[in-house]
Structure 1
Amino acid sequence: MAHVIFYEKPGCAGNALQKDLLRASGHEVDVRDILTEAWSSSSLRPYFGAKPVREWFNVSSPRIKSGEIDPDKVTPQQALVMMIVDPLLIRRPLMRIGDHCEAGFDTDTIDRWIGLKRTTGVVSDVCVRSIANDAF
């Protein structure tokens, strides 16, 4: 069992599914609000590891979907500043166990990291509401 510090957007249906899967897998989930956390560049940066800057962003963010921000044209420092000002841009969830941090919910990565119970449902870091809206 791992103690997972889990930063979410309150009310996010996708984050709810992710937390349920973590708990069903025997992990303790310490839920925190990603929108009200006092982020700094040094506190936010570790969550992204070696991922390309594009993968730091929440693809469901209205500013990304509208084309206002092109993640392929943003430097790491610019991305961090944008995310501190507008936390909705941050790929969710952010998770930390000890000194290890992750952004997003890739089930294979998380399974290798701490172990996950197998499920027949799809649990990812794509906004559930966005998937439903894209279907129309």
Structure 2
Amino acid sequence: MTLLPTFTVGEFRKAARSSPNQNCVRVARKQGWTAVWDDKRSTAATTPATMLPNSELLLLTDTQFDDFQAAVRAGDSGRSPLNVTRRTDGMYIFRITTTSSDAAHTEVELVFDQDELDAFHDGVFNHEFDHA
């Protein structure tokens, strides 16, 4: 079993084009892992030091996330483990498509609107989420 790092709210960043208030796709990277989080899940008690449970995160290896970014930049994200699908109501679902060995992370879904997705993609195109 792989030991996953713990992510705190303060470690996440959002794309420069994102809303100055919440409602953003946020990304954090550490110890070879990339976590994607929806900051709409925060509460009044959430601080930068708040540790986020894995049940709120989409977790990928840095390589998987870099492959996702490369695919988005190339206009083809169909083969990435980070799957983004449009619902009939116009919202977008982010989920991980994994093998059965990673089943613990297949249940997490994050929901974003078109503006949030556009800001996230803008950050991807501008290399804002590249590994430092």
TM-score normalised to structure 2 length:
0.29
Highest CA radius of gyration, 1 or 2? 1
Higher share of residues assigned helix: 1
Per residue, is there more strand in 1 or in 2?
2
Larger relative contact order (Cα-Cα within 8 Å, sequence gap ≥ 6): 1
